[in-house]
Structure 1
């Protein structure tokens, strides 16, 4: 199993609702939840509530009524400003007119929506989530950039070269070598000295000319060979290299004067080039290629330039390796590399893996990229290299992706091209020799509800869902083997579709009950066939709970699978339990009579989760994921401790999931009151029921 830590950062929107009605706030919360959005909310019915919430928690979004209790939107905004909280606020306005929108915006609302328009609110929440994600990314980049600048200034101080930074023709900083070269006492004496003073009067005209052309385009690097002049007026030969840089976060010009006698730059470039070249083909390596894709991502963002990445893989290469030996296979790689080099000319070309090559090239449009890919595919097919006196027939599959102006990262672009290449290799009955071009609309269509509904129907007909089992580690009894069962929908290519991606569509189509029955039946069969007794936690969806016949059917299914009720816990989310309160209560009573456990997942996200216990005889709860994330903060630990205490009062078991790190694990051991731990750090969900080795 590959370990990929989940990022729960914004899947778990922490929502603060400042409202004048508890009932309406709960409906609002459920509407957002059912649309698959917010998961963790707190209600402020007045000024005191609001201040307590603002001081006590980390909120990502606030929904606010014009007035709530003894407070108002205006007063809430002034508290946010006073406390330095950058929480985007959406105003839920009764009287929705251009004037109230302007008034709300001018007081700092991120958005204004009519109080009764849930669809518009959902769309607005999505916009704000995107804004938050970008803000977080930007913050992260700023921090990384700042660190890089600090490292740069350290390197600069240790450099053998003379280096200075110049803004508007004046020095703002220089290293010791530069200061010495021109005969100054310290860098402070240089501050504010014009760059003109550094070169001989006979070269002033040349320098002025260079500075003028730099003013036109600062991104270029310019060299100036001239006579440098020191404070005593004596002159020396120097080559000034001007390039764009930043100092203290401000754009400026960096000047480097090479230490004479050693042409280190050429040597460094040679070394750099050697370290980045692949020995077999002489092509550049993957890390070099990624740097080029990084550059094109920046170009796409700044200039809107479209580029394409072609990922080429030679088909059935193992066959060639075993037939011709490793040296023979290397000869094939060499001849393909030579041909590609001649064919793609100016484009960036690299060998990125065993028999995988990649090309990066600016293109006018997507069709041009497709044509290039087809040309390369067809060309390789006719190549017929001679290896050890045999003519070898080689073909390649090509995946094509694009660096568009909204491209996020070089990694993503290369991965998309690789996925397309994998798809192309499946063509022609798995023989490859095909091209697959990534269509951005594919991503949208694959996620469109029509496409998903069709897949779900097919999967039900063919029993094509798959189950995954994630252990719950008992802190009480090591011999107990309990597993939570998840369902997903395998895809022809790429990762399987998680339940969260298809259940809401299945619910709209009325198919959820069928899926849940399939899961229960197949999980119980797996448990019955397993060599040791195991307990199962089976997730049911809200729409299933509304089906009155489900409880009787489950009773029969358990008898058929010879499952003892004590080893089965049925689990549903807090949001579903709140939405289908009566039905859930009735269902839980029936299942409890059969000896089964009842668990509420995503617990603690709602406005008053404990209210559910009045209607539902829960024997266990699994806490909402953001609690685990907040364990690193003292207030997060306190909040979880107090909520665990309340849950345990009714003799209920507690599960903390989403454990991603040793630090979280450590914090949970010492917290007390936790019965089960679960998460990728302990064990990722497994494709079949098995007891993982004790770590």
Structure 2
């Protein structure tokens, strides 16, 4: 950006005089600064939503608007607004934390020449990013035009990658007996080729390297339609670049098609429904909103609206009634919406709404109200009544968005996060995608937040059964910890629980988990006296020499025996604190307590690690099990490791059992216990039926 261009600047500073001094400095350096002074978080939020800003210069130690609030708002509104922080003095800790939060730079106060150089560099980088997004938008527009040309071509065209169809136009789909091209997406090419031609064409169904040369040639083979009717095919095949990846293009000429395809009048019609699926139109509308955001700096919000449990509804009442239900749903959504929004059907179970000139807060509020309105409404089909719920992923269409597909992916990411919280296809709520400009939490923040959440009782325990394979009668559960749903308002970072256990707060959380587990176990033992709990302890607790005395007091207070629980240590923690681990295991053994070694098998010599450890149970790491699912060689390695453990008389637990066919294999190998979501995911109650003969 050239120095005499307009610089739209926000100065987030407690002192108006210092903010004014910075503006004067920039103007003396020939910047035409259009600036606003901000000393309240609410004002900053309002200004960031009104129009785009080129830069924020903020006070590191600001009290009225803390720097974490600045970055939180930028993430929430999905903005590309660089932030320069001014600190009272040179402090490497503050520099590191500022950069970790996402600042472009952290400067000491009164270093005016350094500030001018950083401003120039920051604006240049900003201009380059804006140009890059502009070129990406142009590239996406060009790809869209190419897609339209491919789709409307009189020739039958297909794009193939690694043996599957990535794209087919209508002519190609109809040739192979499909009503629409979407039904061939991801279909294996081999399924559309006669068996006698498989070997000859197999060469074209493998992965292709970017630098690999594949000459243009004509192929003749017998195709198989959707109705298993053989048809002769003559097609040109060539290597192309499709969406940035190497692929093969198969083209069947119009002249050849004229002798093969009927006019299509007898193909039938699609069932009448609420709204035709218009994927291309949705993409076009999003692209228009992207162009508007880039040219006029007017942000919009995309709502990706899905019908919860669509598959179950379809299976229950059929496609015709489902379409009638969707039609009523569309009318309900339109009634709840303003007239200037665009609502279109993107997939069978998905509608897309574009809300122009709308802030994220307003859009998210509308989305949540829409979920509530639909959830309370009774839908009527003849004599049947239905209640429906929605899952809505929201994403901002701002200057940072380059493509429509990217915008949809963000909304999908927000929706997926919502589904994960509800463990399935049920959402009944809305969630906004927030970009990751930089980690919002450093280690000190995580520890402080964890301690506050512990005090506010925002953690809860889950229990997952560990099921015996060899006819034993114990009822084992492993204890897990998670944050309560209401804790999400704190906008916790990804993998928050894992990050917590790297801080000093981990010891206190371990104590809380143990005490809460003891309470639950005392109650459970009244109805199931053979119940035992596997409780994980972290490296901080492992190295705590006061743990065993504390544990004795906790056991006495709860009325439990040490044998009622099994303390679980991670292999990596034991390897790092080997001598202390040996001491702790011996101390637990003296009070008749058992120990399990979890995440086993990743050490360079895992069996050697066990030589001086008197552990009672061995649990494999998920990586070992996942590899065993993938190929016979890894499965053989797992079996060999199990055999070595059996020689040492170890009780073996295999977690992450997610396939029924693995159970007889593990039973044959002599595995003692299994665990996994396939059997039962973690739940808030210890309610697994261990008496079930099928288990």
Of residues 291-300 and 467-476 in structure 1, the stretch that sits farther from structure 2 once superposed is 291-300
Alignment partner, residue 660 of structure 2: 662
Match of residue 550, structure 1, among 529, 547, 550 = 547
Q: 1:421 to 1:337 in 2, by over 3 A?
A: farther
Q: 1:540 to 1:368 in 2, by over 3 A?
A: same
Alignment partner, residue 77 of structure 1: none
Alignment partner, residue 57 of structure 1: none
Deviation at 1:560, TM superposition (A): 2.0
1:457 aligns with 2:451: yes
Deviation at 1:155, TM superposition (A): 6.2
The alignment covers a number of residue pairs equal to 434
Give distance in 2, aligned partners of 1:691 and 1:379. 37
1:535 aligns with 2:505: no
1:588 aligns with 2:594: no
Q: 1:540 to 1:293 in 2, by over 3 A?
A: farther
Match of residue 679, structure 2, among 653, 664, 682 = 682
**8 A Cα contact 2:300 2:358, kept in partner:** no
1:521 aligns with 2:515: yes
Match of residue 164, structure 2, among 145, 162, 169 = 145
**8 A Cα contact 1:619 1:653, kept in partner:** yes
Give distance in 2, aligned partners of 1:417 and 1:408. 14
Match of residue 647, structure 2, among 623, 644, 649 = 649
Alignment partner, residue 348 of structure 1: 344
TM-score (norm 1): 0.50
1:567 aligns with 2:579: no
Give distance in 1, aligned partners of 2:537 and 2:503. 16
Match of residue 629, structure 1, among 626, 630, 653 = 626
Q: 1:377 to 1:646 in 2, by over 3 A?
A: closer
Q: How does 1:40-439 map to 2 (within 5 A)?
A: 142-143=161-162, 145-146=164-165, 156=175, 172=218, 249-250=248-249, 255=254, 264=264, 271-272=269-270, 274-275=271-272, 277-278=273-274, 283-284=275-276, 288=277, 308-310=301-303, 334=331, 337=334, 340=337, 342-344=339-341, 348=344, 358-360=352-354, 370=360, 373=363, 400-402=394-396, 404-405=401-402, 410=408, 413-414=411-412, 416=414, 438-439=433-434
Deviation at 1:689, TM superposition (A): 1.8
Q: 1:151 to 1:552 in 2, by over 3 A?
A: farther
* Residue aligned with 2:463, SS: strand
Give distance in 2, aligned partners of 1:340 and 1:621. 57
Deviation at 1:617, TM superposition (A): 1.5
Give distance in 1, aligned partners of 2:167 and 2:433. 34
Deviation at 1:294, TM superposition (A): 7.8
1:578 aligns with 2:578: no
Deviation at 1:679, TM superposition (A): 0.8
Deviation at 1:562, TM superposition (A): 2.2
Deviation at 1:172, TM superposition (A): 4.2
Unaligned runs of at least 5 residues, structure 1: 1-140, 162-169, 178-185, 193-217, 220-243, 315-326, 388-395, 424-431
Give distance in 1, aligned partners of 2:486 and 2:450. 14
Q: 1:409 to 1:524 in 2, by over 3 A?
A: farther
Deviation at 1:686, TM superposition (A): 1.4
Deviation at 1:348, TM superposition (A): 3.1
Q: 1:335 to 1:568 in 2, by over 3 A?
A: closer
Deviation at 1:608, TM superposition (A): 1.7
Deviation at 1:359, TM superposition (A): 0.8
**8 A Cα contact 1:469 1:486, kept in partner:** yes
Unaligned runs of at least 5 residues, structure 2: 1-159, 181-215, 224-231, 308-323, 379-389, 422-428
Give distance in 1, aligned partners of 2:548 and 2:673. 27
Q: What CA deviation, in whole Å up to 9, does each residue of 1:202-255 have, x standing for no partner?
A: xxxxxxxxxxxxxxxx99xxxxxxxxxxxxxxxxxxxxxxxx9x9981375863
Give distance in 1, aligned partners of 2:603 and 2:219. 55
Deviation at 1:479, TM superposition (A): 2.5
Deviation at 1:640, TM superposition (A): 1.7
Alignment partner, residue 17 of structure 1: none
Q: 1:636 to 1:448 in 2, by over 3 A?
A: same
Deviation at 1:480, TM superposition (A): 1.4
Alignment partner, residue 618 of structure 1: 615
Q: 1:634 to 1:465 in 2, by over 3 A?
A: same
Q: 1:297 to 1:684 in 2, by over 3 A?
A: farther
Give distance in 1, aligned partners of 2:580 and 2:612. 10
Give distance in 2, aligned partners of 1:559 and 1:379. 51
Alignment partner, residue 39 of structure 1: none
Q: What CA deviation, in whole Å up to 9, does each residue of 1:377-396 have, x standing for no partner?
A: 8999xx9xxx9xxxxxxxx9
* Residue aligned with 1:614, SS: coil
Match of residue 465, structure 2, among 471, 478, 483 = 471
Q: 1:597 to 1:641 in 2, by over 3 A?
A: same
Give distance in 2, aligned partners of 1:539 and 1:621. 13
Alignment partner, residue 435 of structure 2: 440
* Residue aligned with 2:552, SS: helix
